[in-house]
C-alpha cells in the first residue's frame, strides 16, 4: 500500500512540476538578451493554453506528458523541431522527488504545507539561477505561508507561543546578517532578495536547522564558486546567484538537518 501511495505522490509531483514550468515561464523566464533582464509578461499562469516558446504553436496533450513527452520527442518541439530546454523535465523530476521526500500519510496538513513550500522553493531556484532575481511575489508568498502555518500550529496546540516567537527570531537574525552584508557590499555580495529568502528560511526551518541550512549553503557556494573559477567559467569578481545554494541548503536541512546537528554535537562530546 505504501508503494502505491508513493507512486501516486510522485506522479502528482510530476504533474505539479509541469505546472511550475508554466508558472516560471509566464513570470518571465525567457531572458531578454538585449538588456540581460527577464521579460515581464502580463499573462496569468492560470489562463491560456501552453505553447512552444520558440514557434508559439499551441501544444497538445501528447506534448505535455511530464518527462515522457520530452523523451518521446527526443527533446525537440514536435512542430518547429527546435530543442526544448532540459529545464522542463528536470523541474518535473525535482518536484516529483521533493513531494516523495516530504510525503507523510499520517500528517496530511503538514504534507500539504510542505508540498506548497517545495513548489515555492523550486520556482525560486530556477528563476534565480536563470536571471539572478528572486521574485518578490514568490518569496513573500512563501513567507506568508510559513507564518500562517506556524500560527496555525499554535492555534491547534502543536506549538507554544514561546516556540512561535523563537521561530520568528530564527528568521530575523539570518535576515539581519544578510542585510548587513548587502549594506556593506552595496549589493555586490548579496542581493536584497537573499535577505528576504533568509527570513523565510528561518520561519520555515526554525532553530537550529537554520544554522545547518546556512552552513550547507555557504559550503556549496564556496566550493562550486571556486570550481567555476578554476574551470574558467567565472572570474573572482563575477556575479553568482546565491539563491539556489540557499534553496539546496533549505531542502537538505529540512530532511537531514537534525541528524547533521546531532552528529556534530556527538563529535564535540567525544
* DSSP conformation letters of 160-216: -HHHHHHHHHHHHHHHHHHHHHHHHHTTSS--HHHHHHHHHHHHHH-TTHHHHHHHH
Does the pLDDT at position 168 exceed 60? yes
Residue 124: pLDDT band by 50, 70, 90 thresholds? very high
Residues in CB range of 131: below 8 A, 6 or more apart: 28, 29, 31, 37, 38
Helices (H) and strands (E) in the chain, counts: 9, 2
Question: Given this model, what pLDDT does residue 29 score?
Answer: 45
Residue 197: pLDDT band by 50, 70, 90 thresholds? very high
Question: Given this model, what pLDDT does residue 48 score?
Answer: 65
Residue 109: pLDDT band by 50, 70, 90 thresholds? very high
Does the pLDDT at position 38 exceed 60? no
Mean pLDDT score of the chain, rounded to an integer?
85
Does the pLDDT at position 111 exceed 90? yes
Quick: pLDDT tens for 138-159. Answer: 999 999 999 999 999 999 999 9
Does the pLDDT at position 103 exceed 50? yes
In this prediction, residues 203-220 reach a mean pLDDT of: 93
Does the pLDDT at position 36 exceed 60? no
Q: pTM for the full model?
A: 0.87
Q: How far is Cα 86 from Cα 93, in angstroms, rounded to an integer?
A: 11
Amino acid at each position: 500500500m505504501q508503494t502505491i501511495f508513493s507512486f501516486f505522490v510522485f506522479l502528482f509531483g510530476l504533474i505539479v512540476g509541469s505546472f511550475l514550468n508554466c508558472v516560471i515561464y509566464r513570470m518571465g523566464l525567457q531572458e531578454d538578451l538585449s538588456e540581460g533582464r527577464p521579460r515581464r509578461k502580463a499573462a496569468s499562469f492560470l489562463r491560456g493554453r501552453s505553447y512552444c516558446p520558440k514557434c508559439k504553436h499551441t501544444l497538445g496533450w501528447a506534448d505535455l506528458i511530464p518527462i515522457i513527452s520530452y523523451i518521446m520527442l527526443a527533446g525537440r518541439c514536435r512542430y518547429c523541431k527546435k530543442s526544448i530546454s532540459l529545464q522542463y523535465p528536470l523541474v518535473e523530476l525535482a518536484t516529483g522527488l521533493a513531494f516523495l521526500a516530504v510525503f507523510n500519510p499520517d500528517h496530511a496538513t503538514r504534507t500539504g504545507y510542505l508540498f506548497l513550500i517545495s513548489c515555492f522553493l523550486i520556482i525560486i531556484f530556477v528563476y534565480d539561477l536563470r536571471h539572478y532575481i528572486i521574485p518578490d511575489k514568490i518569496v513573500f508568498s512563501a513567507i506568508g505561508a510559513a507564518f500562517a502555518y506556524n500560527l496555525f500550529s499554535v492555534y491547534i496546540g502543536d506549538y507554544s507561543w514561546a516556540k512561535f516567537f523563537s521561530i520568528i527570531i530564527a528568521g530575523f537574525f539570518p535576515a539581519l546578517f544578510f542585510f548587513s552584508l548587502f549594506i556593506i557590499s552595496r549589493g555586490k555580495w548579496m542581493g536584497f532578495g537573499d535577505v528576504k529568502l533568509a527570513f523565510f528560511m528561518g520561519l520555515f526551518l526554525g532553530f537550529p536547522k537554520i544554522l545547518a541550512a546556512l552552513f550547507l549553503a555557504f559550503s556549496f557556494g564556496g566550493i562550486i564558486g571556486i570550481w567555476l573559477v578554476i574551470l574558467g567559467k567565472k572570474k573572482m569578481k563575477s556575479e553568482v546567484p546565491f539563491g539556489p545554494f540557499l534553496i539546496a541548503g533549505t531542502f537538505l536541512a529540512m530532511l537531514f538537518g537534525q541528524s547533521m546537528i546531532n552528529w556534530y554535537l556527538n563529535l564535540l562530546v567525544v
